[in-house]
Structure 1
Amino acid sequence: MSFTAYLWTLFTSALISSTVLPGGSEALVVFGMHEFQTHLWIVVFVATAGNTLGALITYGMGRLIPNKKQEARSLELLKKYGPITLLFSWLPIVGDGFCLGAGWLRISFWR
């Protein structure tokens, strides 16, 4: 596999993995770190870029949900702690929900 093809595959996998769709890009990152040892920072950057864009897409999906009153515990925590909660968006299962909830609650994108 060429390095360029690998990077596009990694980016796509990371993007899909960080949305509400199932997936995982960790194996591709490990593969890239082994096969392309002289380009470690590029591998990490591309995976991070894909994950970040996927989280922004999930945030945007949350913005599309009508803003109605919701009393769920996770939304209350998100309201209480705000953007700092998004530092945990990398967590499996609940992380995507944080991004979705942030969009739904209209938390400022720039914060």
Structure 2
Amino acid sequence: MLALLGLFSAALLAATLLPAQSEAVLVAMVLAGGHPVWLLLTVATTGNVLGSLVNWTLGRGIVRFEGRRWFPASPRQLERATLWYHRWGHWSLLASWVPIIGDPLTLVAGVLREPLWRFLVIVTLAKAGRYLVLVAVALDLAA
């Protein structure tokens, strides 16, 4: 149970603007066995989506603090994510799993008032898809 909590925590932190690495934890747990793969996928995806939800929630009200030293995204990250978001709309959230741009994208989705239901559906598909591919590759390499 403690291992699952560790996976959940790593996935949640990795989806926020804080640096963390959930992929390594997930792969290690898949290769170690001991837990059903579907459970590991569910725990990692849930933690990662909730971390993105933290970003979305912050985005709803944090823009007024842009420019302050503690602001969670650099002006360049925020500008790049906003341009990406304007170009592709809510479908840009399919890139929410991509390192460097994914987390700011979820923040921008909150800033731009993306409806919560659509945010959750698209981000869940993106995060679960990434983890599913990662697990499939890990299992294939282990076989």
TM range (shorter): 0.7 to 0.9
Instruction: Answer yes or no: is the 8 Å Cα contact 2:81–2:101 preserved in 1.
Output: no
TM (norm. structure 2) is 0.67
Which aligned segments of 4 or more residues in structure 1 are displaced greater than 2 angstroms?
Answer: none
TM (norm. structure 1) is 0.85
Deviations along 1:51-93, whole A, 9 cap, x unmatched?
A: 00001111111111247xxxx4531331242210001000001
Q: Which amino acid in the other structure matches residue 86 of structure 2?
A: K
Task: Give the counterpart of 1:7 among 4, 8, 14.
Answer: 4
Task: Give the counterpart of 1:97 among 104, 108, 111.
Answer: 104
What's the offset of the Cα at 1:38?
Answer: 5.4
- In the other structure, the counterpart of 2:45 is 48
Structure with greater helix share of residues: 2
What's the offset of the Cα at 1:24?
Answer: 0.5
Report the identity percentage: 39
Q: Which amino acid in the other structure matches residue 100 of structure 2?
A: I
| Unaligned residue ranges in structure 1 (runs of 5+) | none
Size of the aligned set, in residue pairs, is 104
Q: 1:102 to 1:40 in 2, by over 3 A?
A: same
| Unaligned residue ranges in structure 2 (runs of 5+) | 65-78, 119-143
What's the offset of the Cα at 1:37?
Answer: 5.6
Counterparts of 1:92 and 1:53 in 2: how far apart (Å)?
A: 17
Greater mean alpha carbon deviation, residues 77-86 or residues 12-21: 77-86
Listed as ranges, the matches of 1:58-97 within 5 Å are 58-66=55-63, 72-97=79-104
Task: Give the counterpart of 2:30 among 30, 33, 37.
Answer: 33
- In the other structure, the counterpart of 2:138 is none
Instruction: Answer yes or no: is the 8 Å Cα contact 1:82–1:107 preserved in 2.
Output: no
